[in-house]
Amino acid sequence: MNVAATNEIAPISQFPLFNCLTDDEKIRLESMAEYKVKPKFSYLYLPDEPSDTIFFLAKGMIKIATHSDDGKEVIKSLFQPLAMFGELGIIGETKRQDLAQALREEVHIYTLKVSDLKKLMRMNFQLCDKVMALFGNRLLRAESKLESLIFKDARTRIVEFIKDAVARSGRKVGFEILLKHSLTHQDIANITCTSRQTVTLVLNELRKSDLIYFNRGKILVRDMAKLV
């Protein structure tokens, strides 16, 4: 494994998924993993590539997306540091169905062969349980997003995306919550299955109502309880 060049980068053995491993298993994990740095906007994988590698995000932000027949992008998921992605090879995917792309900053990742993670899972049943729980949580989130697309209007989907992103990744600044992100209005549209124009209209409306403030790369929520 290549050594990370900065103290900001956590070793793969410190990712929450692996806190159940023994010291010996962590050493084995470190020897299996490969550390890489990818430029901003670069692709980590593309559709039809082999699904034989799993990715662990140490720094930066990536999106998992697909394209419709007419070329429209739909963002399925966003991942931030300490997340695992590209893991469907564990449950039988042989070729990628989606793409993974870095956003507006370089990303630092660890890669691990599917076969190596499966070896660790056979050695440590707690790890097996944690991986299965991760799949379960992502399935629940996918079902929730599908229900939102069916039953909720565009404005509600955009507001709920902001609230969810702020709740997961924001930090308190006095009585307000600040979210730093790497998303364009088009990215938010691709996540919420709306249009860029609709995203801009909703964000401007929320700002005019003094519920949020935003500029490039930042959203400040004044009061989560009032953001509806």
Query: Does 154-226 carry CATH code 3.30.70.270?
Result: no
Q: Which CATH class is domain 12-151?
A: mainly beta
Domain residue spans in the chain? 12-151, 154-226
- Per DSSP bridges, beta strands 62-67 and 99-102 are antiparallel
* CA 163 and chain centroid, separation: 16
What's the whole-number mean pLDDT along residues 47-68? 95
pTM of structure: 0.85
Instruction: Give me 64's structure tokens.
Output: 């998992």
* Distance from C-alpha of 150 to C-alpha of 1, rounded to nearest angstrom: 45
**pLDDT tens readout for residues 113-130:** 999 999 999 999 999 999
Distances (CA, A) of 4 to 1, 93, 137, 196: 9, 30, 30, 37
Paired tokens of 53: 């590698």
Percentages of the chain per state (helix, strand, coil), in multiples of 5: 45, 25, 30
How do residues 16-43 score in pLDDT, each as one tens digit?
999 999 999 999 999 999 999 999 999 9
Looking at the chain, which runs of residues are DSSP E strands?
34-38, 43-45, 53-59, 62-67, 73-79, 84-85, 99-102, 107-113, 171-173, 176-180, 212-215, 218-221
